[in-house]
Amino acid sequence: MSAESDIATSCNHLAERLGARRPEIAILLGSGWGAVADQVQGAVDIAYTDLPAFPRLGVGGHAGLLRAGTLAGRPVLVLAGRKHAYETGDADGMKGAIRTLAAFGVKLLVQTNAAGSADTDMKPGELMLISDHLNLSQRSPLFGEAGDSRFVDMSAAYDPALRQQAQAAAAAQGITLHEGVYAWFVGPQFETPAEIRMARTLGAQAVGMSTVPETILARHAGIKVLGLSLLTNMAAGMDAQALSHAHTLATAKAGEAQALRLMQAVLAAVQI
Ligand code: HPA
């Protein structure tokens, strides 16, 4: 089947399962954000394997799940499971999923991730709103795309008005929300201290291995983006802590409750 017909089939399947419901907000969950899915009310679960445009995951025993319902009173589609560029080298693993969301009527993608802090003022366990990104990999999910629409304007990729609303919502809840530039390293190896010095020199406050491809895909599809990072460690060379996936996950787990509070506050506040 063609990519277009996979998207149409996926949309039809969503419509069959969700009836007339058309949530305008989708949330893509990264490490440390799993509690968000747990709090969805009236959940309807759809496996990625039932959606032909969605990625086949399987690595790490996680097949991928789309959960529809409400969170903080807002209808949402929560995507638990992301195909990462470090798995194959290709940045377009979430292309069909993001385009299905757009075709289904999603207007805002709230991206979440775990990231390393490249700023001495931002500590592990704290949260950062993504103001902009550095695509250090220089890979694009739009390689091979035709037409003028591929020349996507990225000058306000992380919606400025929505960022203001998110900051106001966090402040009203007494949640510290840093704001900064997220630098995408493709991974899967962590960065070297020299790479982190480079990223800091270039203006990065956080580093990670995800998010940027989906932001590009969303903007190409006309979906607005908000990005939230849970900082799980100081980036390589910035403290004595050795980096490991286990350490990332452990710190992410510790930050999960605060990340959930932030998500609820943001959802309650955003005007799309
Ligand atoms: N680097 C890249 N990705 C990450 C990090 C990091 O330090 N922490 C969590 N994800």
Q: What is the 3-state secondary structure (H, E, C) of 90-116?
A: CCCCCHHHHHHHHHHCCCEEEEEEEEE
Nearest CA to ligand 1 atom 9: 115
Whole-model pTM? 0.96
208 lines ligand 1 (CB under 6 A): yes
Q: Ligand 1 test: best mutation among 136, 233, 245, most atoms within 8 Å of CB?
A: 233
112 lines ligand 1 (CB under 6 A): no
| Cβ-contact 109, 98 below 8 angstroms | yes
230 lines ligand 1 (CB under 6 A): no
What separation in Å is there between the alpha carbon of 35 and the centre of ligand 1? 20
Q: Counting atoms of ligand 1 from 1, which one is nearest the CA of 252?
A: 9
233 lines ligand 1 (CB under 6 A): yes
Q: Ligand 1 test: best mutation among 232, 238, 249, most atoms within 8 Å of CB?
A: 232
190 lines ligand 1 (CB under 6 A): yes
What is the distance between the alpha carbons of residues 228 and 135, in angstroms, rounded to a whole number?
A: 17
pLDDT of residue 60: 61
CATH number at 3-269: 3.40.50.1580
24 lines ligand 1 (CB under 6 A): no
pLDDT of residue 247: 87
pLDDT of residue 221: 98
What is the distance between the alpha carbons of residues 193 and 204, in angstroms, rounded to a whole number?
A: 14
231 lines ligand 1 (CB under 6 A): no
30 lines ligand 1 (CB under 6 A): no
Nearest CA to ligand 1 atom 2: 208
What separation in Å is there between the alpha carbon of 115 and the centre of ligand 1? 4
Ranges of each domain in the chain: 3-269
What is the distance between the alpha carbons of residues 22 and 68, in angstroms, rounded to a whole number?
A: 10
| Cβ-contact 12, 104 below 8 angstroms | no
191 lines ligand 1 (CB under 6 A): yes
What separation in Å is there between the alpha carbon of 206 and the centre of ligand 1? 8
Give, in degrees to the nearest 5, the angle at Cα 70 between 232 and 176.
35
260's tokens: 């959930």
CA atoms in the 13 A half-sphere facing the CB of 213: 27
Q: What is the pLDDT along the chain (272 residues), one digit of tens a residue?
A: 588 999 999 999 999 999 999 999 999 999 889 999 999 999 999 999 999 999 999 666 567 999 999 999 999 999 999 999 999 999 999 999 999 999 999 999 999 999 999 999 999 999 999 999 999 999 999 999 999 999 999 999 999 999 999 999 999 999 999 999 999 999 999 999 999 999 999 999 999 999 999 999 999 999 999 999 999 999 999 998 888 888 888 888 888 999 999 999 999 999 99
Please spell the DSSP secondary structure of 206-235, one letter per residue. Answer: EEESSSHHHHHHHHHTT-EEEEEEEEEEEP
